[in-house]
Amino acid sequence: MSIFEHQDFDNHETVVFARDQASGLRAIIALHSTRLGPATGGCRLWAYDSEADALKDALRLSRGMSFKNAAAGLNLGGGKGVIMLEPGQSKTPELMRAFGRAVERLNGAYITAEDVGVDTDDMAEVRTETRHVTGLADGALASGDPSPVTARGVFESMKTAARLVLKRESLAGRHVAVQGLGHVGWRLCELLNADGASLTVADINGEHLEKAQVAFDAGIADTKDIHKIDCDIFAPCALGGILTRQTVPEVRARLIVGAANNQLAEESLAGALQERGITYLPDFIVNAGGIMNAAAEIEGVVAKSWIEEKLSGLQDQIERILEHAAVESRPPHQIAIEIAGKRLAMAR
Ligand code: NAD
pLDDT digits (tens, 9 = 90+) for 8-51: 999 999 999 999 999 999 999 999 999 999 999 999 999 999 99
Q: How far is ligand 1, taken at its centre, from the CA of residue 180, in Å? A: 6
Hey, what CATH topology would domain 147-288+316-343 get?
A: Rossmann fold (3.40.50)
* pLDDT score, position 1: 67
For the CA of 291, the closest atom of ligand 1 is 42
Q: Which of 82, 154, 204 to probe ligand 1 with, by most ligand atoms within 8 A of CB?
A: 204
| Mean pLDDT, range 224-238, rounded to an integer | 98
Does pLDDT of 296 surpass 70? Answer: yes
Q: Which residues contact 296 (CB under 8 A, 6 or more apart)?
A: 141, 143, 302, 306, 307
| Mean pLDDT, range 192-216, rounded to an integer | 98
For residue range 65-88, list pLDDT tens digits in order.
Answer: 999 999 999 999 999 999 999 999
> Which residues are registered as beta bridge partners of 236?
179
Task: Answer yes or no: is the C-beta of 181 below 6 A from any ligand 1 atom.
Answer: yes
* pLDDT score, position 301: 85
- Which superfamily is assigned to 3-61+76-127 in CATH? Leucine Dehydrogenase, chain A, domain 1 (3.40.50.10860)
- Domain 3-61+76-127 identical in fold to domain 147-288+316-343: yes
Q: How far is ligand 1, taken at its centre, from the CA of residue 240, in Å? A: 9
DSSP state of 114: B
Residue 128's CB is within 10 A of a number of other CB atoms, namely: 12
Task: Answer yes or no: is the C-beta of 165 below 6 A from any ligand 1 atom.
Answer: no
For residue range 263-295, list pLDDT tens digits in order.
Answer: 999 999 999 999 999 999 999 999 999 999 999
Task: Answer yes or no: is the C-beta of 180 below 6 A from any ligand 1 atom.
Answer: yes
The residues assigned a catalytic role are 80
Q: CA distances (Å), 334 to each of 58, 256, 257, 281, 337, in order?
A: 22, 15, 16, 10, 5
How far apart CA 225 and CA 67 sit, in angstroms, is 30
Helices then strands, counting H and E runs in the chain, come out as 11, 12
How far apart CA 150 and CA 184 sit, in angstroms, is 7
* pLDDT score, position 139: 85
For residue range 133-191, list pLDDT tens digits in order.
Answer: 999 998 888 888 999 999 999 999 999 999 999 999 999 999 999 999 999 999 999 99
Q: CA distances (Å), 146 to each of 91, 135, 259, in order?
A: 20, 7, 12
Q: How far is ligand 1, taken at its centre, from the CA of residue 326, in Å? A: 30
Confidence of residue 256 (pLDDT cuts 50, 70, 90): very high
| Averaged pLDDT of the chain | 96
| Mean pLDDT, range 2-7, rounded to an integer | 88
Residue of 284, 253, 230 whose CA lies nearest to 63: 284
Query: Atom 20 (ligand 1): residue with closest C-alpha?
Result: 203
How far apart CA 154 and CA 158 sit, in angstroms, is 6
Task: Answer yes or no: is the C-beta of 40 below 6 A from any ligand 1 atom.
Answer: no
Confidence of residue 109 (pLDDT cuts 50, 70, 90): very high
Q: How far is ligand 1, taken at its centre, from the CA of residue 4, in Å? A: 29
Task: Answer yes or no: is the C-beta of 182 below 6 A from any ligand 1 atom.
Answer: yes
Q: Whole-model pTM above 0.75?
A: yes
Does pLDDT of 348 surpass 80? Answer: no
- What are residue 77's phi and psi, to 5 degrees? -90, -170
Would you list the domain boundaries of the chain? 3-61+76-127, 147-288+316-343
Q: How far is ligand 1, taken at its centre, from the CA of residue 48, in Å? A: 15
Residue 89's CB is within 10 A of a number of other CB atoms, namely: 15
Residues 172 and 196: beta-carbon distance below 8 Å: yes
How far apart CA 175 and CA 177 sit, in angstroms, is 7
Confidence of residue 310 (pLDDT cuts 50, 70, 90): very high
Query: Atom 8 (ligand 1): residue with closest C-alpha?
Result: 182
Burial pattern 12-39, b for ≥16 Cβ within 10 A else e, equals bbbbbebebeebbbbbbbbbbbbbbbbb
Task: Answer yes or no: is the C-beta of 260 below 6 A from any ligand 1 atom.
Answer: yes
Task: Let me know how long the chain is.
Answer: 348
Task: Answer yes or no: is the C-beta of 239 below 6 A from any ligand 1 atom.
Answer: yes
